[in-house]
Structures are given as C-alpha cells and as structure tokens.
Structure 1
Amino acid sequence: MHLAKSIMHNKLYKTANQAADDEYEYGEAPSKKSRKRESSSSGPDNNRVKRILTQQERCLFCFENPKRPKHLVVSIANFTYLMLPQHQPLVPGHCCILPMQHEASSRSVDDNVWDEIRNFKKCLIMMFAKQGKDAVFLETVIGLAQQRRHCLIECVPIPKEIAKEGPLYFKKAIDESESEWNQHNAKKLIDTSVKGLRNSIPKNFPYFHVEFGLDKGFAHVIDDEQQFNSNLGLNVIRGMLELPEEDMYRRRRQESVESQKKAVVSFAREWEHFDWTKQLD
C-alpha cells in the first residue's frame, strides 16, 4: 500500500515545476498540449528540471531507487522511513528519518510527511528516555538550487546529564559558524521553540536546525554555504561527548554490511515496542 501511494505521490515530481503542479492538480486545468508548450518554451528552466530529476534518480535515499541501502532500513511508514546511517554511527542508537520521495528539507514537505516525521521523533524520544537518554535531532539543508541532497534528519541519543548542556554548546557553535561579514544582517540564532521550524525559516532558504526533543530548538539560516561546515551538528555532539572531531582528514569510516546488519537487528530489538508503523494498515 505504501509503495502504491509513493508511486502515485511521485507524479507530482514528473512535471515541469512544482508551481505548475499546484496550479493544475485540482479542478479544471489547461490541456496537456498547452502545458507542454509552456514547458518547452521555458528553455533553461526546463533543462534545470531535467537535471534535478536526473539527480533524484541517482539519490540513494529515494525509496524507489533499487540501489538504496535496504539493509539499513529499520521501519517503513506510508511516506517516510527510519534507517541507520550509512557510515559509522556516532553512538549506538544513532539513526535517520527520511521521506520516501526526494525532498530537499523537512521545512518543505507536505503535511502527511511532516506528521510521520513527528511520529518517528516522538517514539524515538520515548525509546531513548527508557535508556536514560535524550534525543537530539539534526538537519542541515544546503544545495537547494541543485536539489542533490535528500532530506535527512539525524537522531543522536545523549545521556540526560550531558544533554542538559546542549543548548549552550549549540548556541556557541552557531554564533561562530560563519564570519562576521555575512551578506545579511539576519539573526544567527533563531529560537524555534515558540513558532516551530516552519514558521521560523522562510521557504527555499538553506538552514541548520537542531531540536532537543520536540519542544525546544535552534535554527540558523546559512548565508555562505561554501564556508559553512555541514558537519557542524555532529561535531558539536562530538565535543559534548569528548569524541574526536570530524574533519577532512578524519572521516567516519564505512562499516561492513554484516556489521551494519547486526546493528539493525540490535536497534530493531529496542525499537520494536515503540514502532508506531505497526499500527498502519
């Protein structure tokens, strides 16, 4: 059922642009021929769409891609899924929430995808609370123009006594994340605790978001993508846990498939009692 819905949902991304989809999805619409003329006459825009669709086909996180790392998947919902990271996890329990379709950020997903992401977060929070840990969620959104990166929210469990210091660590890191010569005079640190992510960051803006549980978080609009360290969130947690920081010389190593499969089995054993997807028809 979820695959059928996924295929149906994917039709929205086969057209010339999302604005056209929104306009023609409901009610009476112009004919396909006139729509095709508009698309072909766009020139560079049409080429850009073709390039984006090609990148989406190559994306290893799109659920329909037969080359995706299926052995890392833990749980599947209707529009989203839960998996373990491709590279060595930061700590045991480190996992990722992703939409099935190629979305650039959680800020831009549909309500049904957003709700499922929230469901995964709620259940992960409960699971790790039983272990005496707090869940920290990280999302880095860059390269929106190229649409190369698949929306991915990382969840890292941290001992409660250490997690209490999380807001202080991330405030400092975000303040130092880009130079003082930013093009915009926007606030570096945006508190998402009151308005939430969707009402705190405009659409189509690159950003970094850290969330402590479900009720507290910080966002940062990335002004200079070339200067911004995409590993910022994980490196902050590394600092909190006194682990070596990742840099260009020290990358997370790729673990063997057998080792990853064992990690999935171990995670699934803990996750079983909190897996909300079992309630789906």
Structure 2
Amino acid sequence: MSDKQKTLLCGDVNGNFNTLFSRVESIQKKSGAFDVLLCLGNFFGDDNSQLDAYKLGSRKVPIPTYVFGPTTSEHVPLYCEEGSEIVPNVVYMGKRGLFTTSSDVKIAYLTGLSRRELGKDIPMCTFEPSDCSAVRDACFRGQSEYRGVDILITSLWPNGIQQDENQKVEVDQGKLSDLIAWLSIHIKPRYHLVPAPEKYFERQPYRNLSIHQDFRECATRFLALAPVGNKAKEKWIYACSLQPISKMRVTDLLQGTTDETPCPYSADLLQQHQPGKVVKVSGNGQFFFNMDAEDEGGKRKRKGGENSERKKIDFSPDQCWFCLSSPTVEKHLVISVGTHCYLALPKGPLTPFHVLILPIAHHQSITKSPDEVIKEIKKYKEALLKFYMSMGKLAVYFERNYKTSHMQIQCVPVPQASASQILELFQDEAGINSIQLEVLPPYADVAQAALPGAPYFHAELPTGDQLFARARANFPLQFGRDVLSSPPILDCEDKADWRQCLLSREDEDLHVAKFRQKFKPFDFAAEEDSDSD
C-alpha cells in the first residue's frame, strides 16, 4: 500500500458543480483513484441549482470532498454545521482549523477575509489575529520538533508572495494579508494554496526562514488556482501525490531545487509571537493592528457592541443536518433510534465508543426541549453508563449550546482511575481560557442556571458534579474535548480537535457496527422495537 496521498485541489467552484465533478471523474479514469478533493475559495455561486441532483442522489460526488469557509455573506445560509455534509461525500470544514487525513497528511486552513485588514466585520466570513494564533498553536501542539504542515489553505494571499524578480503577478491589494504571511512563515507549509480571481499562478519554491541561523527549514510551493470552468481556460485543478511530512526523511525534506528562491517574508515576523500585537506598516500600506488600541472615545473596541451588525441565522428543520427526518442527515452514523431521541457516532470521535445523544425533532438545547425529550435523554444516559461500566469505564456527558443549531450531548467513556481528577482538570482549563466555571448544587437542573435561549456549556462528571459556564464571545469550541483528551484522562491530545481525527466512511461504518453490536443488550429502544413486533 502506498504511503502517499493522492490529492486534488480546485479554485473557486462558484456553483459549477457538474463541471468540477465531471472533471474529477475523467481524471480518475485516466490516472486512478484519488483520496481527497480540497475546494479552495467560494464553493457556492449565484446559481446553485446543479447541487439539487447531488442532494437527491441522481448524481454522486465521486471523491471525498472538503469545503472551507465562505468569503461573502450571501453564501452563509447555504453552509451547514461544521463537520456535516453539504451533500453526500462533501464535508464543510468551517473557517479555520487543522485536520489530519487517514493518510496522516496534515492540512491547515484559515479562510475568509481579515476583519482587521478589511476594516469591517462580515459575520462568518472574516477572521481575527487570534484565529491565526489558534491555527499556529494547533499545528505546534504535541510536537517537540516541529517540521511544518503538508498543506495550508487560505482565501487571502500572504503579503510579500507577489514580490518575485523572476515572475510578475498582479494581485488586488485587498487580497494581500500580512496576517496570512505571519501564519505561513510560522507553520511552514510544504504547499500553500489560494484561489485566484482570474489567472493561475505558481510561484517558484522558497526556503522558509528559521529563528536559528544555522538551521535549514523546508521549502514551500505557493499556488493560486483559477475559478472552476473559467472561460480563459486557466488552470483550475491541481493534482499532487503527498508523502506526509511526518514520514519524510529529513534529507528529502531539506533538499534544495535549482529554481529555489529566498523567503519572501520579513524575518521580523518570526519574532512576533502573536499577530496583531505590533503595529507594522509596510510600503504598500498593509499593516498589523494593535489589538489593545483605543477607539476615538478612549475605550477599547469590542466585538458585538452597539455598532455590531451581526445577523442571527435562521435554521430550518428541513435543512438541519441533525434532524433525523432531514434528507441531509448522515444516517450511516446512527446507532440507535428511540421515540424522541437517537444516538449517533460523532465526526472524529475521541474513542470508538464516544457517542452523541440528539433529539429526533429540531430542538436547540436541553433547556429548550420538551419534557418527553428530556426524559428519554436521561434513559439514554443511564443505558450508556451501564454500557460503559460493563467495559470498566465511567461516563462524562457534556453539551455546548454555543454556535450550534441542534442539541448534541457528547457522551464519552473515561477510565475509572481518572474520575477524581476530571473536575480539577476542567477548572484548570477554564482558568487558562478565562472561563467562569461553576459547580452547580446537587440535583440542580441546568435550566435553572441558564437564561432561556442563552448560550452555555454544561457537563456531568462521574463524581456526580455538574459544571456550568455561560458561553461568552470566543468561547473555545473544543473546550470539553480539550479536557478529556488530556494525558491524565484519555491521553490523546492529537484528537482534541475533531478535524484532526476524521475517519473514512469505511471506518465510520465499522465503528457504528461494532457499537451497535456491543450496545444491543443495553439498548432500550431496540427492546421496544422487538416488543412491538
């Protein structure tokens, strides 16, 4: 079996789904099967009617396809929950992150426009300097000797990449970003790919800089792919065969090429531990912002203030990715179906027996669910606890009612020996993230602590303790996973972010089949079905 991943990448799709997937099919007929397709830039366009055939199943996406965040507000309602399928075999990965494929290829991404450099906020389409830091930190996590990542995907071009004596390229100044340059020089991607508005551009590879003078770093190839099906017939799809950087010999990784150029970015960027903290004006007026700067009134600017124009996104149950009646639900992940709730395997599970409890109908959180749903949630929790105990494990349940549209209760089996440490580890992580974490009184109900409709985080521990936090702006989305993946509990920090441990469809099917078989003696829903027969 080859240890290389055959990867396809394309520019802005702009709704040209038939052109894209027909080309992929022809490439695979000629060159053999590819492992993944990564779509840069805008997936949707002004006319997305071609997608209907893929939703209905009359046409099929021929390859696992990953789509990233939008850059225009008009497209925001067309995207689904992060980690869910837009159509079968097309997964929306969100705005930022790092995920590791089954072939161990590491793909970092930060898409959308820079709010700081754009000068305004477009909800779900813009990123902050803190997003750059989060991606950098995810790449560095758990690595004593950092080599780099295999692929970096961004919507904006890194400022400086256009400055090349051997090649001329015209780039709209609004598409150049110092923040992306900062991210690129820090994480050292082997391939950095962006969408091009019109023309294909491939820069000569450049050697990354090191903070140590005598240390040699890997080289980066920068490519900009034209829009899918463009009339000028500029190159819009790119194929490569990648050996993961983690498995490459150092001599191969550091080998030079005859067309190699120096790094186009300023060495000063390596000295800036956090982007946006230092004001740095370049010749063309691009700059980093001082995040602690005051506005005209002498007060620090805050997101979501009086001038914020964030719009609440309405979700239709027919389009919800977790309503069991929705045509978009990933039914191959379903393990058990009750009267009001069901169990499903999560994307990127922490353990093979990590599972979600979800309401069949559309309810956003447990605090807004009817009594019959809450009653069946408790039945599933009791059944799962007995199931976990049969394997010598205990259960942790947690719910994040923040940036979600459909209630999901995470159920994770943990070693019995870790039970006494979990509360302290949650409190430590809360302190690091400046989260006010409360231990609720015995027998308290989360609905008594949370205001109606307010975002929150809630966890139930094996000791019987209940933890509650009000989810403020920038609440860490992986808070619960960060704690449970730590060495004292599950010792799998590489799985803190679900995008780093995604399973193939075949592995998901195997996990679900194994879970169903082992859970069958504890599944009250299966017993009720057999009684009715």
**TM-score normalized with structure 2 length:** 0.38
Q: Aligned partners of 1:246, 1:115: CA distance in 2, in Å?
A: 31
Aligned 8 A contact 1:88 1:253 in 2: yes
Q: Aligned partners of 1:190, 1:245: CA distance in 2, in Å?
A: 28
Asked if 1:260 is matched to 2:522, the reply is no
In structure 1, the residue corresponding to 2:434 is in which secondary structure?
coil
Q: Which residue of 2 aligns with 1:233?
A: 480
Aligned 8 A contact 2:348 2:499 in 1: no
Asked if 1:61 is matched to 2:322, the reply is yes
Aligned 8 A contact 1:122 1:214 in 2: no
Q: Which residue of 2 aligns with 1:121?
A: 381
Q: Aligned partners of 2:362, 2:463: CA distance in 1, in Å?
A: 24
Q: Which residue of 1 aligns with 2:405?
A: 149
Q: How does 1:188-203 map to 2 (within 5 A)?
A: 188-191=437-440, 193-203=442-452
Aligned 8 A contact 2:419 2:462 in 1: no
In structure 1, the residue corresponding to 2:329 is in which secondary structure?
coil
Q: Which residue of 1 aligns with 2:430?
A: 174
Shift of 1:202: 2.1
* Distance verdict in 2 for CA 1:88–1:230, change over 3 Å: same
The amino acid of 2:483's aligned partner reads V
Q: Runs of at least 4 residues of structure 1 off by over 3 A?
A: 245-248
**TM-score normalized with structure 1 length:** 0.71
**Deviations along 1:39-94, whole A, 9 cap, x unmatched?**
xxxxxxxxx99x6244x332211111122111111110111100111x22111210
The amino acid of 1:131's aligned partner reads M
Aligned 8 A contact 2:400 2:457 in 1: yes
Q: Where does the alignment leave 5 or more consecutive residues of structure 1 unmatched?
A: 1-47, 180-186
* Distance verdict in 2 for CA 1:204–1:192, change over 3 Å: farther
Of 371, 375, 383, the residue aligned with 1:111 is 371
The structure, 1 or 2, with the larger RCO (C-alpha pairs under 8 Å, 6+ apart) is 1
Aligned 8 A contact 2:495 2:501 in 1: no
Of 53, 77, 80, the residue aligned with 2:341 is 80
Aligned 8 A contact 1:136 1:210 in 2: yes
Asked if 1:208 is matched to 2:457, the reply is yes
The amino acid of 1:275's aligned partner reads D
| Structure with the larger helix share | 1
Q: How does 1:25-104 map to 2 (within 5 A)?
A: 52-54=314-316, 56-85=317-346, 87-104=347-364
Q: Aligned partners of 1:228, 1:192: CA distance in 2, in Å?
A: 23
Q: Aligned partners of 2:320, 2:369: CA distance in 1, in Å?
A: 17
Aligned 8 A contact 2:365 2:401 in 1: yes
Q: Aligned partners of 2:429, 2:345: CA distance in 1, in Å?
A: 26
| Structure with the larger strand share | 2
Shift of 1:174: 2.3
Q: Aligned partners of 1:192, 1:258: CA distance in 2, in Å?
A: 44
**Deviations along 1:157-208, whole A, 9 cap, x unmatched?**
01100132111111222233337xxxxxxx5324253312122222211101
In structure 2, the residue corresponding to 1:220 is in which secondary structure?
strand
In structure 1, the residue corresponding to 2:449 is in which secondary structure?
coil
The amino acid of 2:385's aligned partner reads I
Asked if 1:269 is matched to 2:517, the reply is yes
RMSD: 2.3
Q: Aligned partners of 1:142, 1:189: CA distance in 2, in Å?
A: 17
Identity %: 26
Q: Aligned partners of 2:318, 2:463: CA distance in 1, in Å?
A: 32
Q: Aligned partners of 1:195, 1:94: CA distance in 2, in Å?
A: 25
User: Which structure has the greater CA radius of gyration?
Assistant: 2
Shift of 1:244: 2.1
* Distance verdict in 2 for CA 1:278–1:169, change over 3 Å: same
Aligned 8 A contact 1:190 1:220 in 2: no
Q: Which residue of 2 aligns with 1:164?
A: 420
Shift of 1:245: 4.8
The amino acid of 1:278's aligned partner reads A
Q: Aligned partners of 2:357, 2:332: CA distance in 1, in Å?
A: 15
* Distance verdict in 2 for CA 1:202–1:223, change over 3 Å: same
In structure 2, the residue corresponding to 1:161 is in which secondary structure?
helix
Q: How does 1:18-29 map to 2 (within 5 A)?
A: none
Q: Aligned partners of 2:491, 2:501: CA distance in 1, in Å?
A: 18
**Deviations along 1:5-47, whole A, 9 cap, x unmatched?**
xxxxxxxxxxxxxxxxxxxxxxxxxxxxxxxxxxxxxxxxxxx
* Distance verdict in 2 for CA 1:157–1:246, change over 3 Å: closer
In structure 2, the residue corresponding to 1:164 is in which secondary structure?
helix
Q: Aligned partners of 1:253, 1:238: CA distance in 2, in Å?
A: 12
In structure 1, the residue corresponding to 2:526 is in which secondary structure?
helix
The amino acid of 2:421's aligned partner reads E
State the aligned residue count: 217
Aligned 8 A contact 1:96 1:155 in 2: yes
Q: Aligned partners of 2:463, 2:337: CA distance in 1, in Å?
A: 21
The amino acid of 1:238's aligned partner reads S
